[in-house]
Structure formats: C-alpha cells, structure tokens
Structure 1
Amino acid sequence: MTANNTAAAVEKTAKVTTESFQIQLQTLWNDSVAWLGSHWLQILVAVGIATAIVAILHVLRRWGMRLCEKSVGPAGWGTILGRTIARTGHFFIIMLAAKLVAGYANPPEMVAKTIDFLFTLAAVFQAAIWARELILGAIEKRTESENYHGEALLSALGLIRLLVTFALFAIALVVVLDNLGVNVTGLVAGLGVGGIAIGLAAQGIFADLFAALAIIFDRPFRRGDRIHYDQTKGTVEAIGLKSTRIRAFTGEERVISNKQLLDKEIQNVSARHHVRNRLMIGIAYETPPDVLEAIPAMLEAIVEAAGAHASRASYEAFGASSVDLVLEFDVPGDDVPASNAARDKIIIGILRKFAAEGITIPYPAQTAFTAAPDGKLIYPYPPEPQEVPDGRP
C-alpha cells in the first residue's frame, strides 16, 4: 500500500511539473507573438544595432588572432592579451549584443528574463575562460626563459592548467546556480570539505608542487646555477615537479624535494659578481716601522697588477712571532678556478716583492730559558760584552 501511494505521488508530481512547463512555454510563445506584432519596428532597429555590435566584436576577435600569429619568440603580454581576446566565444558575443539592445526593443517580461539568464550564463563562463588564459599566460611567460626549456618542470603546466581550469569553472558554476535561485551553501561547504580532505591527503605532493611554482616565479636558482645548501655544493641539473636534482662537485647526483630545498638557506654562487680571498701575512718584528707603514700599499699594487681589486690591506694584531697583516681582495666573476689562479699569482708576487725589499715572513719562533741551581737564568745565547769606562771590553 505504501509503495503504491509513493508511486502515485511521484506520478502526480511529474504531471504537475510537465503541465507547469507547458503553461510557461505557451505563455512565452503568446507574449513573443504579441510583442513581434506590436514592436516590429523597434525590433528591426534593435536587430540592426545588435548585428553591428556582433560585427565589431568579431573584428576585435580576429585582431586578437592576428596578434597571436604575429608573435615571434617568447610570449609577451601583447601576445597573452591577443590570445585572451581570441578565446571570446560566439555565444557570448551574441548574448552581449542582445543584452545591450534588449532595453530598446522593450521585450515582454518572460523574454527579458530569458535574455538575462542566457547573458549571465555566457558572461560567467566567458569570464572564467578569460581568467584562465591570463593566468596560464602569465605562468608560461615566466617559464619562457631559455634556462627552463626542456625541463620536467614544463610538463607540470598541464597539471597547472587542469587545476586552474577546474577551480575557475567550479566558481563559475556556483555563480550560475546562485543566479538560478539554487541554494549553493551546501555545495560550497561540500567543495570546501572535499578540498581540505584532498589537501590533507596529498599535502606532500601539493607542497612540492607549490614549491616548484615558487621556483618559477621567485627564481632563487635556475638550471645550470652553482648553489650551496647545508653541507652540499653542486650544479642544478634539473628542476622537476616534485624534486630538484643537483650534481655535487664530488660527482654524485643528489635529489632533494623542492619544499625541503626551499626551507634551507641557499647560496647561489653563480649569482655573485666577484670571489673574495683572504690572506693572513706575518711580518717580522725586526722590520723597521717605515717599511711596515709602506707594506699595505705594496700589497695593493701587487693585487691590482694581478687583475683583482684590493678591498682591505691592514694590520690585524701583534702575533706570537710577527705583526699580523690581513689582505682581502676580490677577483671579478664567479669562476673559482680563475680566482685560485689570481690568488696564486698574488702570493708569488708578494714573496718576490718581500725578497727584493728584504722583508721577512718569520717562522713561528720560541725562546726557552733555563735556571741554574742557584736560581739564576741561563740564557740560550751568549751574553753581550760589557763595556768599561775607557771603552775597552
């Protein structure tokens, strides 16, 4: 008995819905016929204006296509804008023209509501298409650098395109349903909960993906750069969707996830414009003060002759067996072997200059004193002779 009642209720509901739809359709037809009969001149004028609007919009669309065809080399903002304009749909163009002239034609309420609904539908999804083209165009523009060509990271653009498309069209669908009067609160809550669940389940993958995007936009390093992080030094060979491969200077390939890599302090050696070297030089205490005063200028001249720039040449401290001097100089560029060659040239030049000037770099020296049984010190060298008043020793 209960099943029969349920089936009857469903059948009755379907019948009522069908009859209601037929009544609305009949009302729309009758109103349209009456409108055409009473406003035919206004309708003709509106159709002419709408045709002109459609033609103008199609001209703009073709201009966007030609702008894309003329682009050579990496995509610029002009190309991205042209591609966005070229993605304008015919349905949106027609509904935009209809919306602009609908007020002049004074259509009946049912026709006006239909135009409003179709225009909203076309405008929302067209805005999603435009936004997708602009976002993806901006991402592709950032990856057009030649140092990113051929990397596995470029294959991530397919996944990025899918994620961006899904997000934008999901928002567009919610907006359309809301304009239809559908309660989208539950749908939005469900999408939010589902997104949180997916994010928690794949947080490691998404963290590495967003880290890869950070590498694209922030560019802390590129393929081919020499970097230092933690205790590792090497050359970046590949930047992938999840990890980065680095060829260590000792020969092995090291793989580290993008998130862990960006969490560390990274020193981009390739980005430096000079290599700084530091030398500690000891000068014998027996060196005359005038010579000590002239030594920093000597060292600066030697550094400049080697093609480097002296940033500091000054005395540091009194050492155990010498006056300690610090020499710091910069070699232009980021080539470490060239820096080492310049450093060797400077060291040899210092030794030659000191030998010519009679300046001594002393060995570490220490003097030991012993004591006699009576407590007197026994010197390790003969005592100096004492002079008598008449000048004889």
Structure 2
Amino acid sequence: MTDITHIIQTFQENYMVSFFMLMGTLLVLLAANAILGKRIKKLESMKMQDERSVKAPALPMLRFIKRIAIPLLFLASLSVFLNSVSFAEGIQRVVQIIFAVIMTIIIVRSVNKALELSFSKYFEKEYANREHEKNLKPLLSFVKLLLWVIGFLILISNLGFNITTALAGLGVGGIAVAIAAQGILGDLFSYFVIFFDHPFALGDFIVFGDKSGIVERIGIKSSRIRVLSGEVLIISNSDLTSSRIHNYKQMQRRRVISSISVPFHTPEEKLKRIPQLIKDILASIQVVEGVVCDRSHFQSIGSSAFIFETVYYIPAPEYVAFMNVQQEFNLRLVKTFREEGIEFAYPTQRILSPDQMT
C-alpha cells in the first residue's frame, strides 16, 4: 500500500503538469476539429449551390488542416509528453510500442489524405468534371493499400523484428505470383493506360471489334460497357486496350456519304438539276441546325442506273441526331423527286430475244 501511494505521489509531483498540458492540447485539438468539420460541411453545401460563392483555396485549406495538420499536432504533443516523463523499464517498452503504433497510423493516414486531396485538386483544375475522379478511386485505393503495407513493415522493423527474411520470401513469392497472374497484371497496366492516356471516359459511346455501347464503369481489372441491346458487357482492360476503339463521344461532327440512283431514261436536264436539288434539301433541314453539304456530284454510270454521290456533315455526334437528319433528308428527297418527275432506280432485268442479240 505504501508503494502504491509513493507511485501516485511521484506521478503527481513529476508528471501532473505534463499530463494536464497533454489533456489541454487534446481538448483544444478536438474542439478545433469539430469547428472545422462544421465549417467544411457549410462550405461544401454552399459550393453545391453556387461554386463561385466559395473562394478557391478556402475549402482545400480547411480540409488539409482538419485531416492532416490536427492529427500531426496531436502526434507532436504526445511525443513531447512522452519525452518529458520516464517510466519503469517494462512500462517504458509498452509505451514505446503503443506510441509507435499510433505514430504509424497517424502518419500513413495523413499521407493518404494528402495524396487524396492533391489528386482531387489536380483533377478539379485539369478536367473540371467528376468523371475522371471516379476513375481515380480504384487507383487511389491501390496506392493507399500499398502505403499501409509499407507502414506496417516499417512499424514491425522499428519494434525490433527482422523483416529481411520476410522481404526475401516476399520477393521470391512475388515473382511466382507475378508469373501466375500475368493476366491480372496485364489488366492492371491496361487500367493505367486508360487512366493516363484517356482513350475514353465514363459516358462515352465507343465501338470496339463487333461491339458498341456506353462506358459505365472503369475498374482496375475490367470495364463495363452498356451495349445497344441493353445488357452489360464486362470486358478485361487488356482486351479493350488491345483492340481498335472508335470513340464517338469525342467526335465533333459526323460525315455522311449518301448515294442515290436514278434510271437510265432520266432526261439530261433533270440529271443536271439533281445535285442542286439535293443541296437545297440539305440547306432546309430543321431537325438539327447547321447541317452542311460538302459536295453533290453525278458520280458514275452503274450497271443499271446513274449514280449520284453526296457528302454532308452533321454538327452532332449522337447517333439519334444522325438518324433524325437522315429521315428528314429522305422524306424531303422523295417529295422533291416526285414533284420534279424524277424516279428512283430499282434493280431490273431486260430479256432480249435472239433477233435483238444479233
């Protein structure tokens, strides 16, 4: 009983000031963390309503202070407290282990938060949309996991464990795993190609091989494409990047080639008028504004008809817009040709008698 009383008295005399300073610092940091949390939520709600109402550096700075600066300040204050007191040898070892664990968690967590904030800020400035940020999440998860593994190895090394043998075993095992998982690693590297090279993004309409659809998700190993028939096609990233991809989302305008055939008995005067009639029809299209006719010519004389070729541009990448223009063009063309007395050619066969063949 006397020894316990002596320990308590010694703690009160030597460590009470340091202990209360640590508790005071902790309370201040907790209060600051709560205030910053409320302020960040308010700024985020304001930004969702109007981005111009929030100053550019305000929100990232508050996030940095809350998620990184405050935990590091707590770690520094805890380190100062432990350096100012001394414990018995057995207790000192336990305290060192606990402090090493806390320090590792706080440092790795702070690095992860700094990385997350930096990447988010970079993509916000560079692309000004959330699609690439969604693509970033799998990569961030992979990097965060790698940092936790590195932090754990450093922790057990600082605690006195020999990790050289373990690292050598991991190296040999890693080579074996890499050989066995070549397909998975190939998909991972293909994900990096998609992420940094941007051949397509979420929401893009792409055509690859004999498939076409809208990109719904880009994962570390595979991507999901909503094909035209409605189902979701799950394809590995390596297969996707190794094929030729047509990205129609990035197409600014669509080039259309149209061929029209008229029969051989069409008079020459009407043949001369057909290119101008087609140009007038394209100029009058209203379903999509800005349709431009590049050219319209009497291209060739076919085996059973005269062939006219027309090239025009639609200032919209959507397939529906293309079909709407095609529909209006065809309807106006049929109406105009009927008014002008021009027929469309159709496959015919002419049977000659022996007398006509000689």
TM-score in same-fold range (> 0.5): yes
Distance 1:136 1:148, change over 3 A: closer
Matched, 1:262 2:241: yes
Matched ranges for 1:1-393 at <5 A: 65=37, 68-70=40-42, 71-72=44-45, 77-78=60-61, 81-86=64-69, 88-94=71-77, 127-137=107-117, 145=130, 161=141, 163-172=142-151, 189-208=168-187, 218=198, 220-222=200-202, 225-236=204-215, 242-282=221-261, 286-288=267-269, 292=272, 295-307=274-286, 308=288, 309-315=291-297, 317-320=299-302, 323-359=306-342, 361-362=344-345
Taking structure 1 as reference, are residues 126 and 208 closer, same or farther at Cα in structure 2, changes over 3 Å only? same
Q: 1:230 offset after TM fit, Å?
A: 0.9
Task: State which structure, 1 or 2, has the greater radius of gyration over its C-alpha atoms.
Answer: 1
Residue 295 of structure 2 aligns with an amino acid whose one-letter code is A
CA contact (8 A) 2:68 2:114 kept: no
Q: Is the 8 A contact 1:95 1:122 kept in 2?
A: no
- Residue 303 of structure 1 and its aligned partner are, at CA, apart by 0.9
Q: Deviations over 1:216-253 (max 9, x none)?
A: 66472325x54322111234455556444444333554
Amino acid at match of 1:262: T
SS of 1:88's equivalent? helix
Q: Residue 61 of structure 1 contacts residue 85 of structure 1 at CA under 8 Å; is this kept in 2?
A: no
**Cα gap change, 1:193 to 1:167, in 2 (>3 Å):** farther
SS where residue 239 of structure 2 aligns? helix
Q: Given that residues 310 and 330 in structure 1 are in contact (C-alpha distance below 8 angstroms), is that contact kept between their aligned partners in structure 2?
A: yes
Distance 1:67 1:81, change over 3 A: farther
Deviation track 1:315-341 (CA, whole Å, cap 9, x = no partner) reads 263323655332123334344344323
Cα distance between partner residues in 2 of 1:200 and 1:189: 17
Residues 83 and 228 of structure 1, relative CA distance in 2, 3 Å threshold? farther
CA contact (8 A) 2:275 2:298 kept: no
Distance 2:217 2:345 in 1: 51
Instruction: Give the aligned residue type for 1:254.
Output: L
SS in 1 for 2:296: strand
Distance 1:325 1:83, change over 3 A: farther
For 2:80 and 2:275, locate their aligned partners in 1 and report how far apart those are by CA, in whole Å: 82
Instruction: Give the 3 Å change call, closer, same or farther, for CA 333–82 of structure 1 in structure 2.
Output: farther
Residues 227, 78 of structure 1: alpha-carbon distance in 2 compared, 3 angstrom cutoff: farther
* Letter of the structure 2 residue corresponding to residue 131 of structure 1: V
Taking only aligned residues, the RMSD between alpha carbons, in angstroms, comes to 5.8
Measured after TM superposition, the shift of residue 265 of structure 1 is 2.5
The answer to whether the Cα contact below 8 Å between 2:120 and 2:133 also exists between their aligned partners in 1 is no
Q: Work out the number of aligned pairs and report it.
A: 312
Q: What amino acid is aligned across from residue 300 of structure 2 in structure 1?
A: F
Task: Give per-residue Cα distances to partners, 1:173-204, cap 9 Å, x unaligned.
Answer: 66678999999766654544444344444444
The share of aligned pairs that are identical, in percent, is: 25
Change (3 A) 1:67 1:244: same
Work out the CA distance in 2 between the residues paired with 1:241 and 1:174.
25
Contact 1:221 1:268 in 2 (8 A): no
Listed as ranges, the gaps of 5+ residues in structure 1 are 1-52, 103-118, 373-377, 381-393
Residue 389 (structure 1) aligns with: none
- TM-score, normalised on structure 1? 0.54
Structure 2, unpaired ranges of 5+: 1-24, 52-58, 84-98
Q: Is the 8 A contact 1:64 1:85 kept in 2?
A: no
Cα deviation for residue 302 of structure 1 reads 0.7
Amino acid corresponding to residue 207 of structure 2 in structure 1: H
CA, structure 1 residues 328+252, in 2 after alignment: closer, same or farther (shift >3 Å)?
Answer: same
Q: Deviations over 1:21-45 (max 9, x none)?
A: xxxxxxxxxxxxxxxxxxxxxxxxx
